[in-house]
Amino acid sequence: MSTITKIGQAHDLSADEAKRGYPVHFRAVVTYYDPRNDGKHASLFLHDSTGSIFALFPANWHWTGATPHAGSLVDVVGVTAPGDYAALITQTQMEVIGESSQKLVAKPVSFTHLATGIEDAQYVEIEGVVHSITQSGHRITLNVAMADGMIGAVSVNDPNADYRDLVDSTVLIQGSIGTLFNDSRQMVGAHLMFPNLYSVKIEERSPSNPFSLPLRSIVSLSRYTPTGTLPHRVHVRGRVTLQWPGTMICIQDDTSGVCAKTIDRTRIELGEIADVTGFVLSGGYRPMLVDSVFRTLGGSESPEAQQVTPAEALQGHHDSVLIQIEGQLTGRDLTASQPTLLLSSHGEIFPVLLPKNQNNDSLSNIRIGSTLRIIGVCSVVLDAEEMVTGSGSAVTKSFHILTRSSKDVIVLKSASWWTPERTLLGFAGAVVIAGAVFVWVVVLRRRVRQQTKVIRESEERFRHMALHDGLTGLPTRHILQERLYLAPHKVRRFNTGIALLMLDLDDFKGVNDTYGHDAGDETLRVMARRIKESIRSTDLVARMGGDEFVVLLDDFVEPGHAEVVAEKIVSALSLPIPLGEHSVSLSVSVGVCEIFDHNLNVETLLKQVDMAMYEAKANGRNRFHVFNSEMAAATIARKRMKEDLSRALEEHELELYYQPLFSAQEPTLTGFEALLRWRSKSAGFVMPSEFIPLAEETGLIVAIGEWVIREACRQVGHLERQLGREFEISINLSPRQLLHDKLPQVIQEALEENCRRPSSLKMEITENILMTDSKLNQAAILRIRDLGVRIAIDDFGIGFSSLSYISRFPVDWIKIDKSFISDCANDPASLAVVRAIIAMAHSLGIHVTAEGVETSDQLSIVTNEDCDAIQGYYYSRPVPFSDLPRWIKSLAEPLENRCVEVAIPLSSLVQEH
Ligand SMILES: Nc1nc2c(ncn2[C@@H]2O[C@H](COP(=O)(O)O[C@H]3[C@@H](O)[C@H](n4cnc5c(=O)[nH]c(N)nc54)O[C@@H]3COP(=O)(O)O)[C@@H](O)[C@H]2O)c(=O)[nH]1
């Protein structure tokens, strides 16, 4: 997998591509650093000339040099992973290499633009008024009102900084955008991560004492129109008509009333005069204040509660004003989080809200039907729909009363069963009763229905939005989960099975990149429709996000049924999709899992079908793959091995074996190839073919490879001093290691620390390193060769080697792959290949090693063909370092007496054969 070196390239990967874990290596500027982020991870936003990206790494990361701050230049290695919107970097390793001289340019953005999500992780500038400041854990948040919406600007709290001055100031803030998405990839919010107060520029400073702002009459708030583009705090004064400590305070002056949201819990007497400052929030009949603070000025003259009828209250003029109103108690819920009474009067039904956490026991004894007088602040609700679709002016829909305590509920007339009306009704007869009841129920219900219709509609809308994907209309993972949890019962009851199919479109990103996002959306809609058409109406298909879908078959599934469905889906989805004047063809990879056991575990089932889907991808895509138990065992074992391997270096479980290298013509020992071994505490003696690919995948190969270079130079240097002669060392290089910027420096240090001639070191790379990403790899190889180190091409002949490009490349050695050597004695074709490689290499001035020489026949063939060096079991297997001196001494003895065989652990012999 090729390494990505530009941030923009990594940021733009689709979720599916990012999930593959592309290796990345960037040099970038830090725009934000939070050493604690979520406790387990530290986080960084990084920026280069192509864009910005978010990187996660362990919170206990040990910085070898300086710790970073905004403006640091860092060297970062990691792998890509899907983020909520754009890709991010995990398994990050990094180092600060200095200060950036680059002046960062932040793009000014509006909230509406941020709401599209496309600026995820990018470096931007916002303008707005700071409404409030909140602290949570180690972070501080400035809640900023931009011209078109509110945004939280987040930073690591600096205990020495004073943020309070910022409230009500107009500010410009530069930082990186963290966008929040739900499972359906719908944006639910965004934060601006700013590094410190230097990123906040105050354009217009607020007065430090908010109560020094000029006083306004409360009624003027209704006429409030922001003079500039952004609204600032206002200051009003009045008598307190209601206080819900920590939530709200309402005041009233001669002109009107207003309610203000506040977190201040200071208790205040009703009727006291209070100063309140806050930000105007319009949208109701009258505006309210938010993020408010208040102070009391004494006094205790309670404002008069105006007597109003429900019809008058509905007109709206009494909104936020203290009123008294009468009605019959028709219902109550005193145990709800918001205790409520329901009153009716003159055909109107209105709720009365009581303060939370108060003793309302006295109210539970009031009989339904009793006539009550309520004193409280009137809150009028507008009909938003009517305002939009109708006249455009404020249309009131309902009202409710906010009371200060249960004392605001006065029983005027208690209802009794034997009221004159009811007695009369009793005499009037069953038909009249039925009629009256019917009318009463109809009228009451109609009113209640009207009151609750809007609530129910918005609940329905939210529920539908939460449970259905906005693009395809398919259910989301929540519905799938509900159905999955019911599945075991169904299996038990009907004695059938269930099947799960996980679908991932192959190369979907290509459609987005080539034809644009509208075409991508259309493709997803078509695919969703085709999947639905391929299954029964009782089966379920859910969109999991991106281009991933899951199908649940839980209706009388019989063995093999899921495979038939998967086959059908694979062929339905491979049909061309018309996109305007174009037509595209895509394929899909499907994982399949069938279960006929009611003890099935839903989590396990999801993991298994995911594994099967990845297997389908790995086996060439455009196909389905059925889960089997070996896959699970292999995946678990790999995961465990990865975890163990991440500790292998620090737990000293790695060691080097050395396989001798001989010159061919007069066989003399010239040096060794260093070969890595892992003596794992849990897995035993592990061969490199098993763990090097994992080290590559996880990025651990960079650290492990560095250790190999340093350790091989140290150990062979030690041997040389002991024996008084010089050896050459061959070391294998992995592709990922090659692209790490520090590699030449590591090699140079290892050479210098051990006083080694550069030409005595040979770095072995495989052919396909040269073929993939050739420009980057070639540059890296040239940098190593510039040190004077030799380059060898390993396993030559099995890849894509082209003689013409070898001639253009600075290669010193070629190692003919052992498969040709093992066959050359019996297979004329292999012998011909060996001859051709040697002739071609020599004509280009390149030396040749025959590797894997095991027999005397093979030895004489390669020697006769003029090979330069020999490596193979014929001379020796790889030898542990501690046995090398003994092995070298035994060279004088006949081959069969050499001590090497005893030097190798039995386990490694078994694995090497
Ligand atoms: N990036 C790194 N890769 C490494 C490192 N150490 C090893 N490796 C790579 O792992 C592969 C397997 O290595 P290993 O199991 O050690 O096998 C080596 C020899 O034991 C084997 N060999 C040598 N002679 C013979 C023989 O006569 N017969 C026979 N059947 N096998 C023989 O060949 C392997 C050496 O191969 P090569 O490197 O291609 O010269 C292997 O691909 C290693 O590259 C490491 O530190 N880093």
Q: What is the CATH number of the domain that holds 786?
A: 3.20.20.450
pLDDT at 802: 57
Q: Are residues 391 and 493 in the same domain?
A: no
**What CATH number does residue 31 fall under?**
2.40.50.140
pLDDT at 892: 72
Please write the tens of the pLDDT for every residue from 354-386. 988 888 888 888 888 899 999 999 998 877 665
Q: Are residues 329 and 390 in the same domain?
A: yes
CB of 732 sitting under 6 A from ligand 1: yes
Q: Are residues 148 and 290 in the same domain?
A: no
Q: Is the pLDDT of residue 502 over 60?
A: yes
Which residue, among 872, 868, 848, has the nearest Cα to 858 in the 3D structure? 872
Q: Is the pLDDT of residue 336 over 90?
A: no
Q: How far is CA 623 from the centre of its chain?
A: 28
Higher pLDDT, 297 or 601: 297
Kindly give the distance from the C-alpha atom of residue 890 to the centroid of ligand 1, in angstroms, as a whole number.
23
Residue where a domain terminates, one of 189, 204, 219: 204
Which tokens sit at 317? 């003029």
Q: Are residues 653 and 756 in the same domain?
A: yes
Q: Are residues 55 and 139 in the same domain?
A: no
pLDDT at 902: 35
Three-state SS across 515-561?
A: HCHHHHHHHHHHHHHHHHHCCCCCCEEEEEECCEEEEEEEEEECCCH
Kindly give the distance from the C-alpha atom of residue 358 to the centroid of ligand 1, in angstroms, as a whole number.
77
Q: Is the pLDDT of residue 834 over 60?
A: yes
d(CA 280, CA 230): 11
Question: In percent, how much of the chain has pLDDT > 70?
Answer: 88
Q: Are residues 120 and 200 in the same domain?
A: yes
Mean pLDDT of 88-113: 88
Least confident of 329-338, 383-392, 469-478: 383-392
**Sign of the C-alpha dihedral, residues 389, 394, 395, 397?**
positive
Mean pLDDT of 312-325: 91
pLDDT at 303: 83
Q: Are residues 554 and 496 in the same domain?
A: yes
Does residue 392 lie within any of the structural domains?
A: yes
Q: Are residues 157 and 216 in the same domain?
A: no
Kindly give the distance from the C-alpha atom of residue 630 to the centroid of ligand 1, in angstroms, as a whole number.
28
The mean of the pLDDT values for the chain is 86
Mean pLDDT of 113-130: 87
Kindly give the distance from the C-alpha atom of residue 751 to the centroid of ligand 1, in angstroms, as a whole number.
23
pLDDT at 232: 87
Does residue 291 lie within any of the structural domains?
A: yes
Please write the tens of the pLDDT for every residue from 184-207. 666 677 899 999 998 999 998 888
Q: How confident is residue 460, by pLDDT bands cut at 50, 70 and 90?
A: low
Kindly give the distance from the C-alpha atom of residue 852 to the centroid of ligand 1, in angstroms, as a whole number.
9
Helices 856-864 and 828-843 pack at an angle, to 10 degrees, of 40
Question: In percent, how much of the chain has pLDDT > 90?
Answer: 48
* Domain count across the chain: 6
Kindly give the distance from the C-alpha atom of residue 561 to the centroid of ligand 1, in angstroms, as a whole number.
46
Q: Is the pLDDT of residue 125 over 90?
A: yes
Most confident of 337-351, 605-619, 855-869: 855-869
Does residue 236 lie within any of the structural domains?
A: yes
CB of 289 sitting under 6 A from ligand 1: no
Q: Are residues 93 and 225 in the same domain?
A: no
CB of 685 sitting under 6 A from ligand 1: no
Kindly give the distance from the C-alpha atom of residue 676 to the centroid of ligand 1, in angstroms, as a whole number.
8
Does residue 824 lie within any of the structural domains?
A: no
Does residue 439 lie within any of the structural domains?
A: no
Please write the tens of the pLDDT for every residue from 768-817. 676 554 567 778 899 999 999 999 999 888 754 555 567 767 899 999 99
Kindly give the distance from the C-alpha atom of residue 691 to the centroid of ligand 1, in angstroms, as a whole number.
12
pLDDT at 184: 60
Mean pLDDT of 269-274: 92
Domain that holds residue 20: 7-99
Mean pLDDT of 232-242: 93
Which residue, among 439, 429, 540, 523, has the nearest Cα to 484 in the 3D structure? 540
Q: Is the pLDDT of residue 422 over 80?
A: no
506, 622 in Cβ contact below 8 A? yes
CB of 686 sitting under 6 A from ligand 1: no
Kindly give the distance from the C-alpha atom of residue 433 to the centroid of ligand 1, in angstroms, as a whole number.
97
Q: Are residues 546 and 652 in the same domain?
A: no
Residue where a domain terminates, one of 48, 75, 99: 99
Least confident of 285-299, 647-661, 698-712: 285-299
Residue with CA nearest ligand 1 atom 22: 852
Least confident of 388-402, 562-576, 605-619, 837-851: 388-402
d(CA 458, CA 439): 29
Kindly give the distance from the C-alpha atom of residue 732 to the centroid of ligand 1, in angstroms, as a whole number.
9
Residue with CA nearest ligand 1 atom 33: 852
Higher pLDDT, 537 or 24: 24
- Test site for ligand 1: of 675, 690, 858, most ligand atoms within 8 A of the Cβ: 675
**Sign of the C-alpha dihedral, residues 696, 697, 702, 708?**
negative
Q: Are residues 217 and 244 in the same domain?
A: yes
pLDDT at 385: 60
d(CA 10, CA 20): 12
Q: How far is CA 280 from the centre of its chain?
A: 36
Q: Is the pLDDT of residue 910 over 70?
A: no
The single residue listed with the structure tokens 């040239």 is 782
d(CA 350, CA 396): 13
CB of 854 sitting under 6 A from ligand 1: yes
163, 140 in Cβ contact below 8 A? yes
CB of 675 sitting under 6 A from ligand 1: yes
Q: Is the pLDDT of residue 165 over 90?
A: no
Mean pLDDT of 846-856: 95
Residue with CA nearest ligand 1 atom 32: 852
Which tokens sit at 843? 């004509």
Q: Phi and psi for 336 in degrees, rounded to 5? A: -65, 165
Please write the tens of the pLDDT for every residue from 35-81. 887 778 889 999 998 999 999 888 888 888 888 999 999 999 999 99
Q: How far is CA 449 from the centre of its chain?
A: 42
Q: Is the pLDDT of residue 531 over 60?
A: yes
Does residue 447 lie within any of the structural domains?
A: no
CB of 687 sitting under 6 A from ligand 1: yes
Does residue 580 lie within any of the structural domains?
A: yes
Which tokens sit at 406? 């249960």
Which residue, among 879, 881, 870, 911, has the nearest Cα to 898 in the 3D structure? 879
Please write the tens of the pLDDT for every residue from 877-909. 999 999 999 999 888 766 666 544 333 333 333
Mean pLDDT of 306-318: 90
Q: Are residues 200 and 214 in the same domain?
A: no
**What CATH number does residue 614 fall under?**
3.30.70.270
258, 216 in Cβ contact below 8 A? no
Residue where a domain terminates, one of 564, 595, 628: 628
Does residue 440 lie within any of the structural domains?
A: no
Please write the tens of the pLDDT for every residue from 724-733. 999 999 999 9
Kindly give the distance from the C-alpha atom of residue 655 to the centroid of ligand 1, in angstroms, as a whole number.
14
Q: Is the pLDDT of residue 183 over 90?
A: no
The single residue listed with the structure tokens 């069969």 is 896
Q: How confident is residue 461, by pLDDT bands cut at 50, 70 and 90?
A: low
CB of 160 sitting under 6 A from ligand 1: no
pLDDT at 766: 85
Mean pLDDT of 483-490: 79
- Test site for ligand 1: of 645, 656, 692, 710, most ligand atoms within 8 A of the Cβ: 692
CB of 734 sitting under 6 A from ligand 1: yes
CB of 913 sitting under 6 A from ligand 1: no
